[in-house]
């Protein structure tokens, strides 16, 4: 005859007095609390569960939770059962791990278990809310270890008795005493009030919160990059504002995004050259090398600038595009600086570890790169605005001074003509007057150039366009004061030194008084002067200069004395003609043509 082991029944509450039949059929295991029952359920198997009515009035959901203990303990989220005082009756394995405990501390509240974390809302009393309203409530907790948890509390409502599994019955269909005891133990008071227990689920959201905080910090940093206060704009020079912007970019990339090796280059669209703006931790030779916005032969930086697409290099050894910036770099991340679909440059960061950059790093750097592009554009607009304001001020001063100074020059050379060969002391004084008058004009011009750079762009990107004009001396001869004034205004912004004369005789004296040959790089004259024609002036100047750098102006093709034809026969360059009123581009093109011819 085989011996069959007795089935186990877990009894929660006061010890049960089983009948003889009960004792013969089942092995009874007594515990006095729900946590102890859960511990037993996790350690061994039972055929049944008996709950003493006065000790545990919970209904079927509570028993279901108990019987699902093993499954809940293995969940990736934390789960806990709380009583009406928010004490933890049971917690699964994951929650205990987060609480740094191996076993549940008897009588501990939920907040004590987590080290009394900061409640961040939106509900600052989620457990009270769930108990008082019978509705679910949520909140976010922040503990001393800088971890964040999302807590969701759901009340347990009284909905009926425990499920009544079928018992072993006698062959004649009689009901066992265990069945009667279970029915008695799980009876529910129909007048039960609000819920007495909460099911709390806990999820760790530290990474999500930290990313949100980092994104918020990046957006704030981006706003700060372009946040130039009026006092700063007024007090700081262009170079100083650029240096401040560079320092802010370096600070945020290093301290906020934790990038140690940084290189920023700006794209010069006219040449495709990627000009270094900022480098941190980059070898000097690498920082100084020429790179262009081309997909091949210019490293990852050139590829990103040409394509406008970000690029993660997980292993520099196996990446054909990578050109070392630091000898010990193992991986890199490069993103374009883009504003209004226009590529302004690139940001490149490198790491000493292989596969150091994740998608989140790419996301953060792309967001910051947009802010950097916006800040650079804002700075350029501010510089341009200041340049325009300063240009207007200088133009107003110069227009009030330039022509009167020219009158001084004209009068001085006229007087000097009468004393040449007679009284040397007077001639010397007149020469000093001429020089001082010219110095006044040049000082005004130099101040204007310092205040109004030709192109308001960061240092290193100034264009070399029209560099040939800088420092060249131009004589403009015309009876019309508006023409003389326009010549000052248009040519001097490019660094030319402009002087004027009313008539041909004055022009001859200006050339002679300024040293004759080589005194002026270009001489622009109207074809019809009060005393000479343009051709006649060219001939008289030819007596003082080996090659006369002449340009003739005419209005609507009017040339009654055929000055242009005669001047061309005498050596006037075919392109040395201006039609009044002339445009700036036409004026610049003709002057540059004559300068190029004279350089040969």
Indicate which CATH number applies to the domain containing 240.
3.30.450.40
Closest CA to 593 of 573, 570, 564: 573
Q: Give the lowest-confidence range in 164-178, 193-207, 241-255, 267-281.
A: 164-178
One domain for residues 312 and 374 = yes
Q: Residue 510 has what pLDDT?
A: 87
Q: How far apart are CA 266 and CA 337, in angstroms?
A: 8
Q: Residue 373 has what pLDDT?
A: 84
CATH number at residue 142: 3.30.450.20
At which of 368, 383, 398 does a domain end? 383
Mean pLDDT of the chain: 77
Q: Of all residues in the chain, what percent are helix, strand and coil, respectively (each to 5)?
A: 45, 20, 35
| Element (DSSP H or E) covering residue 336 | strand 331-339
One domain for residues 354 and 218 = yes
One domain for residues 392 and 377 = no
Overall domain count for the chain: 3
Residue 2 falls within a domain, yes or no?
no
More confident: 113 or 559: 113
| Element (DSSP H or E) covering residue 215 | helix 206-225
One domain for residues 414 and 526 = yes
More confident: 241 or 28: 28
One domain for residues 88 and 199 = yes
The mean pLDDT of 172-178, rounded to a whole number, is 39
The answer to whether 542 and 571 have CB atoms below 8 angstroms apart is no
Q: 530-558 pLDDT, tens per residue?
A: 999 999 999 999 998 888 999 999 876 66
The answer on pLDDT for 386 being more than 70 is no
Residue 578 falls within a domain, yes or no?
yes
One domain for residues 199 and 106 = yes
**Per-residue confidence at 5, pLDDT binned at 50, 70, 90?**
low
The answer to whether 78 and 104 have CB atoms below 8 angstroms apart is no
One domain for residues 15 and 118 = yes
One domain for residues 348 and 467 = no
One domain for residues 151 and 33 = yes
Q: Give the lowest-confidence range in 56-60, 304-308, 369-373.
A: 56-60
Q: Give the lowest-confidence range in 113-117, 146-150, 193-197.
A: 193-197
Q: Residue 12 has what pLDDT?
A: 76
The mean pLDDT of 95-109, rounded to a whole number, is 86
Structural domain harbouring 105: 7-165+179-204
Residue 353 falls within a domain, yes or no?
yes
One domain for residues 365 and 453 = no
- Cα-flanking dihedrals φ and ψ of residue 390, to 5°? -65, -40
Q: How far apart are CA 9 and CA 12, in angstroms?
A: 10
Q: How far apart are CA 485 and CA 133, in angstroms?
A: 85
Q: 397-441 pLDDT, tens per residue?
A: 666 777 788 888 888 777 877 776 666 677 777 778 877 877 777
One domain for residues 377 and 401 = no
The answer to whether 538 and 502 have CB atoms below 8 angstroms apart is no
More confident: 477 or 546: 477
CATH number at residue 523: 3.40.50.2300
Q: How far apart are CA 298 and CA 283, in angstroms?
A: 17
At which of 320, 352, 383 does a domain end? 383
The answer to whether 195 and 153 have CB atoms below 8 angstroms apart is no
Residue 471 falls within a domain, yes or no?
yes
At which of 346, 367, 383 does a domain end? 383
One domain for residues 311 and 416 = no
The answer to whether 204 and 148 have CB atoms below 8 angstroms apart is yes
């Amino acid at each position: 005859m085989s011996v069959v082991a007795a089935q186990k029944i877990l009894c929660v509450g006061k010890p049960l007095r089983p009948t003889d039949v009960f004792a013969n059929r089942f092995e009874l295991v007594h515990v006095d609390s729900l946590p102890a029952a859960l511990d037993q359920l996790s350690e061994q198997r039972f055929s049944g569960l008996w709950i003493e009515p006065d000790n545990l009035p919970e209904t079927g959901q509570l028993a279901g939770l108990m019987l699902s203990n093993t499954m809940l303990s293995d969940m990736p989220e934390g789960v806990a059962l709380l009583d009406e005082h928010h004490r933890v009756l049971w917690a699964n394995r994951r929650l205990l791990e987060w609480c740094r405990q191996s076993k549940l501390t008897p009588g501990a509240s939920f907040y004590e278990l987590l080290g009394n974390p900061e409640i961040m809302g939106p509900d600052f009393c989620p457990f009270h809310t769930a108990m008082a309203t019978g509705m679910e409530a949520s909140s976010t907790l922040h503990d001393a270890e800088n971890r964040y948890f999302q807590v969701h509390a759901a009340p347990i409502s009284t909905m009926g008795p425990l499920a009544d599994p079928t018992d072993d019955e006698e062959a004649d269909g009689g009901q066992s005493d265990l069945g009667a005891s279970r029915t008695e133990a799980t009876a529910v008071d129909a007048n039960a009030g609000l819920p007495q227990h909460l099911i709390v689920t806990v999820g760790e959201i530290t990474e999500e919160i930290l990313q949100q905080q980092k994104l918020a910090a990046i957006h704030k940093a981006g706003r700060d990059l372009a946040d130039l206060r009026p006092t700063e704009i007024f007090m700081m020079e262009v170079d100083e504002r650029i240096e401040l912007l560079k320092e802010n970019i370096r600070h945020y990339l290093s301290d906020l995004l934790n990038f140690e090796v940084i290189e920023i280059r700006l794209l010069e669209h006219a040449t495709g050259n990627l000009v270094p703006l900022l480098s941190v931790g980059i070898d000097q030779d690498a920082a100084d090398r020429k790179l262009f916005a081309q997909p091949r032969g210019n490293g990852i930086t050139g590829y990103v600038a040409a394509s406008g697409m970000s690029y993660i290099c997980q292993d520099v050894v196996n990446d054909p595009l990578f050109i070392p910036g630091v000898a010990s770099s193992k991986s890199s991340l490069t993103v374009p600086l883009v504003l209004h679909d226009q590529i302004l440059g690139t940001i490149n960061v490198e790491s000493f570890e292989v596969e150091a950059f994740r998608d989140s790093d790419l996301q953060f750097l792309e967001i910051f790169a947009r802010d950097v592009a916006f800040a650079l554009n804002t700075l350029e607009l501010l510089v341009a605005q200041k340049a325009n304001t300063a240009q207007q001020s200088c133009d107003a001063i110069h227009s009030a001074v330039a022509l009167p100074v020219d009158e001084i020059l004209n009068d001085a050379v006229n007087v000097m003509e009468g004393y040449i060969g007679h009284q040397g002391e007077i001639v010397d004084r007149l020469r000093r007057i001429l020089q001082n008058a010219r110095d006044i004009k040049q000082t005004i011009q130099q101040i204007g150039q310092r205040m109004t750079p030709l192109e308001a762009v960061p240092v290193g990107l100034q264009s070399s366009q029209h560099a040939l004009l800088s420092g060249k001396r131009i004589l403009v001869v015309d009876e019309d004061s508006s023409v003389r004034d326009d010549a000052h205004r248009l040519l001097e912004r490019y660094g030319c030194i402009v002087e004027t004369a009313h008539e041909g005789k004055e022009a001859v004296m200006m050339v002679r008084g300024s040293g004759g040959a080589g005194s002026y790089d270009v001489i622009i004259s109207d074809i019809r002067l009060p005393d000479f024609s343009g051709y006649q002036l060219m001939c008289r100047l030819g007596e003082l200069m080996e090659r006369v750098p002449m340009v003739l102006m005419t209005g609507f093709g009017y040339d009654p004395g055929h000055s242009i034809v005669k001047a061309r026969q005498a050596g006037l360059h075919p392109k040395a003609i201006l039609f009044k009123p002339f445009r700036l581009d036409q004026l610049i093109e003709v002057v540059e043509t004559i300068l190029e011819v004279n350089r040969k």
